[in-house]
Structure 1
Amino acid sequence: MPQQKSRKILIYIFLFLIIGTLNNKDLTKSNFIKLNTITVSGLKEKNNIDLVNKLNFLKFDNLMFLDKSQIVDIINSNTLVEKFFVIKKYPSTLNIEIQKTEFLAQTKKENKNFFLGSNGKLTRVDNFRSDIPYIFGEFKNKDFFELKEAVDESNFRYNQIKRLFFYKSGRWDIEMNNGLLIKLPRKEVKESLKLLIIFLDHNKKKNIKEVDLRQNKQIIIND
């Protein structure tokens, strides 16, 4: 009796392996898991549709074996994308959820208007906005994000900045919405901004037009 049971178990395992192998082969060729629907969400409708059109060449490919690198490259080529999630919904749908980049500043390059996003990419635009600072000067993204980090870590009011001026020496000036001009040093920007916050907090009633922080641990003002 034990021998017969063992033989039956072996036969069942053998049959299961054969059937499983056949089903796997059939699935890779079957229309059941071929991609026929692509959805993109998170951007404006026009931008969502644009990405869908760029990905349409994947239609009718096997959903299990899509080229991930192609999908990633196409999505990342869109300057509005900060993050994204690609979700395969079997049997035949690809859903792409996008987190839009935050526009942090605006500038001109080669006489064209651009927004600079938190993703480090420039997006071509027709018109500027009044709620983000305009950058003057030939800067690199690295220069801007180092300044932005210093501003954020010092709890300085980035949303009150009207203009940023970058100099070839690697130094920044900041113009605030209230007209105050701040001349920053090349190094120790965060420490200088923290010092400035304390100073301004103790001199709220003064009509200060310009603050020079270029000298180490010194504040020079122009009323």
Structure 2
Amino acid sequence: MIAKKNYVVLFFLFLILTTYAPKNTFFSTFFKIKEIVLSNNSEENLENIFKDLEIILGKNITFLSEKDFEFIINKHPIIKEIKIKKIYPSKVELDINQKKVIGIIIDKKEKKIITDKNEILKLRRYYDFGKLPFIYGGSDEFIKLYNLLNEINFPIEKIKVFYYFEIGRWDLELINNKLIKLPPKNVRFSLQNFIENYESNNFEKFDFFDYRIKNELIIR
């Protein structure tokens, strides 16, 4: 009886050992990533990022997850998120969304970028941000001015440089080299006045608009 029980135990051990295979064996042999493509929704400025993505080539597509891209996001802080679409057997489509960069901060000859969420990020690599404005000083105060400009529908794309002064005021240099000197207070009123009059023929011939003195505008 004991011998029969031993036989049964040995039989089941034999079945387990001869039929068991690690669950990853099949998948590790097949479904290796051979191609990476970017979705049509992905934004520009991804050349440097795409090179780093090649590290996932050869990995198993089945077990690929967003965690595999955490090092990419840490290396490229302008990335907001990476969405994955698996196309079996060996293709991965990535939708890469970037943070909205609103300006380039010049701080002691070091370039940083600032996002619309008031994140200040160091530039570790070259990125083409097009015609974003430069910001000299006042990085902690900039988002307040930026939000105000949006609220009053000021054409921010026409601003080339923001200059901040320690007394708490800004100068705005436009792409046509016109200069707006804002006061420390009543900034909204000054900007709205400029917008209302800028397109008029009377303003077009001037390059200097000084609102620093209360209730006065000096132009030349």
Q: TM-score, normalised by structure 2?
A: 0.62
Unaligned runs of 5+ residues in structure 2 are 1-20
Q: Quick one: distance in 2 between partners of 1:52 and 1:128?
A: 19
Query: Structure 1 vs Structure 2: percent identity of aligned residues?
Result: 22
1:161 Cα deviation from its structure 2 partner: 1.6
Structure 2 CA distance for partners of 1:176 and 1:168, relative to 1, 3 Å = same
Contact 2:173 2:179 in 1 (8 A): yes
1:192 Cα deviation from its structure 2 partner: 3.5
Query: Which residue is equivalent to 1:159?
Result: 157
> Are 1:39 and 2:36 matched, yes or no?
yes
- 1:190-201 matches, cutoff 5 A: 190-201=188-199
Contact 1:80 1:100 in 2 (8 A): yes
Letter in 1 for 2:175: N
Structure 2 CA distance for partners of 1:73 and 1:189, relative to 1, 3 Å = farther
Structure 2 CA distance for partners of 1:115 and 1:93, relative to 1, 3 Å = same
1:188 Cα deviation from its structure 2 partner: 5.8
Q: Quick one: distance in 2 between partners of 1:154 and 1:59?
A: 52
Query: Which residue is equivalent to 2:136?
Result: 136
Query: Which residue is equivalent to 2:208?
Result: 209
1:212 Cα deviation from its structure 2 partner: 1.0
Query: Which residue is equivalent to 2:79?
Result: 81
Unaligned runs of 5+ residues in structure 1 are 1-24
Contact 2:181 2:211 in 1 (8 A): yes
Letter in 1 for 2:218: I
Q: Quick one: distance in 2 between partners of 1:91 and 1:128?
A: 34
Letter in 2 for 1:30: F
Query: Which residue is equivalent to 1:19?
Result: none
RMSD over aligned Cα, in angstroms? 4.0
Q: TM-score, normalised by structure 1?
A: 0.62
Deviations 1:77-102 (A, max 9, x none): 31443554222223443321224556
Structure 2 CA distance for partners of 1:131 and 1:153, relative to 1, 3 Å = same
Contact 1:87 1:95 in 2 (8 A): yes
Q: Quick one: distance in 2 between partners of 1:52 and 1:162?
A: 34
Q: Quick one: distance in 1 between partners of 2:160 and 2:186?
A: 22
Structure 2 CA distance for partners of 1:178 and 1:46, relative to 1, 3 Å = closer
1:165 Cα deviation from its structure 2 partner: 0.5
Contact 1:63 1:92 in 2 (8 A): no
Deviations 1:40-98 (A, max 9, x none): 53455742442214x43x8534624x453342452353144355422222344332122
More helix by share: 1
Q: Quick one: distance in 1 between partners of 2:134 and 2:75?
A: 24
| Matched length | 192
Structure 2 CA distance for partners of 1:49 and 1:198, relative to 1, 3 Å = closer
